[in-house]
A and B are shown apart, each in its own frame.
Chain A
């Protein structure tokens, strides 16, 4: 089944105001940067964005915060973004902070047909408020609900025309989980190849989870914390 769309404009068609989007990536690593630029161009607003982080001021989801297109963020860590902090503390932006492992599992569960699960993470903290608690193996656990999205927008290294995906290094992170949890999943890839080119043994995300795939025009792949050691 051919999932290829010609360009980012077609790939993101159908995304409207008030929708819930999942966006892959950890920090600026493995984010669908071409799609984020297109969301800015489209001007869709009142978005609920599920993403581990919120980008930096001038890149990643930070771009959508600057244009005030995001109504609510569901994330685990949002430091490194002054505009985010300003909007959150002033109450302009609704923020739901959840433990990173729970966020990952909630996406996975959403895509796997599991409506909820119990986890020990967050028990005894403010994030457990209002959540059902059960004791398993002598330890308290809290109930977390699955997450799904109108669109999941993810980024892969290589993809084929069937939507099969391979991620590179730590750029995998949330991408395969969100791919499963989107009603429509859009994969932005660095290199798009014909079906049959990729070895089936190497596929990380099977094409069944991907509805649209396109090759990004250009990738900046910014580094947030460039850290090096000296040659001795």
Chain B
């Protein structure tokens, strides 16, 4: 069975390490905050100017002045801080944030990512994504393996306008965990009940498959 969005978020949460500052993008990445492994401490940065993000507020306790980068109402935890947007991106560009998790429309085998524009159809803008991918050492992409038409989004070369080049290190989809290195995808894990053949057939880019592909421990 392929993973659902929560499954993808749970698998990415296993990548978190004690003491990390982490920036989570909109969509599936936001869910990662719900599954922090026991016994470790991480702090979430939101690029609109919040460090130390907490859970969503209880009904009636929403504060219009306190939102995340997805414009959702949030709370903060003890030890949180607020700052302006230039300071926020100093944290990001200056590599003070250890992990960035974001969504993508396409990823290619040399680590390029496209997630901000479909020419002629959809232009929402890149927001902070270009700054995030240009600077972060450790970028994990949370995405689905194929689009609605069944075409692979794990590509040899991106077809959509790029957000960044040569930057994605790891991809977690509903089917697989893959690492990107030396211009190829390396299959690390498969989702429970998903065959290696299915992953191969749904991957357009070059995929290196080891003899044994462990099943994700979700």
User: A residues touching B (Cβ–Cβ < 8 Å)?
Assistant: 26-30, 52, 75-80, 85, 88-89, 95, 97, 99-105, 107-108, 119-127, 157, 167-177, 204, 221-231
B128 within 8 A of A: yes
Kindly list chain A residues whose C-beta atoms are within 8 Å of the C-beta of B166.
Answer: 124
Q: How far, in whole Å, are A229 and B135 apart by their CA atoms in the complex?
A: 33
* Residue pair A171, B65 in contact (C-beta under 8 Å): yes
Kindly list chain A residues whose C-beta atoms are within 8 Å of the C-beta of B85.
Answer: 26, 52, 100-101, 103-104, 173-174, 177
- Listed stretches B119-127, B179-187, B202-210; interface member: B119-127
18 residue pairs A–B, Cβ–Cβ below 8 Å? A26-B48, A99-B126, A101-B130, A105-B89, A123-B165, A126-B162, A169-B65, A170-B68, A173-B84, A173-B85, A174-B85, A175-B84, A176-B84, A177-B84, A177-B86, A222-B64, A225-B72, A226-B72
Q: How far, in whole Å, are A226 and B70 apart by their CA atoms in the complex?
A: 11
Total A-B contacts with CB atoms under 8 angstroms apart: 181
Q: How far, in whole Å, are A37 and B89 apart by their CA atoms in the complex?
A: 30
Q: A75-B125, A85-B123, A229-B58 are in contact. Are A101 and B89 (CB under 8 A)?
A: yes
Q: How far, in whole Å, are A132 and B102 apart by their CA atoms in the complex?
A: 28
Kindly list chain B residues whose C-beta atoms are within 8 Å of the C-beta of A107.
Answer: 86
B164 within 8 A of A: yes
Kindly list chain A residues whose C-beta atoms are within 8 Å of the C-beta of B70.
Answer: 225
Kindly list chain A residues whose C-beta atoms are within 8 Å of the C-beta of B62.
Answer: 223, 226-228
Kindly list chain B residues whose C-beta atoms are within 8 Å of the C-beta of A28.
Answer: 64, 71
User: Which 4 A/B pairs are nearest by Cβ-Cβ distance?
Assistant: A101-B89, A101-B131, A124-B165, A79-B124
User: B residues touching A (Cβ–Cβ < 8 Å)?
Assistant: 46-50, 55-59, 61-74, 76, 82-86, 88-89, 92-93, 112, 120, 123-131, 134-135, 161-166
Closest to B70 in A: A225
Q: How far, in whole Å, are A61 and B76 apart by their CA atoms in the complex?
A: 28
Q: How far, in whole Å, are A76 and B59 apart by their CA atoms in the complex?
A: 30
Q: How far, in whole Å, are A164 and B128 apart by their CA atoms in the complex?
A: 29
Kindly list chain A residues whose C-beta atoms are within 8 Å of the C-beta of B71.
Answer: 26-29, 80, 224-225
* Residue pair A228, B165 in contact (C-beta under 8 Å): no
- Of the candidates B57, B59, B67, B68, the one having the most CB atoms from chain A within 10 angstroms of its own CB is B67
Q: How far, in whole Å, are A71 and B80 apart by their CA atoms in the complex?
A: 39
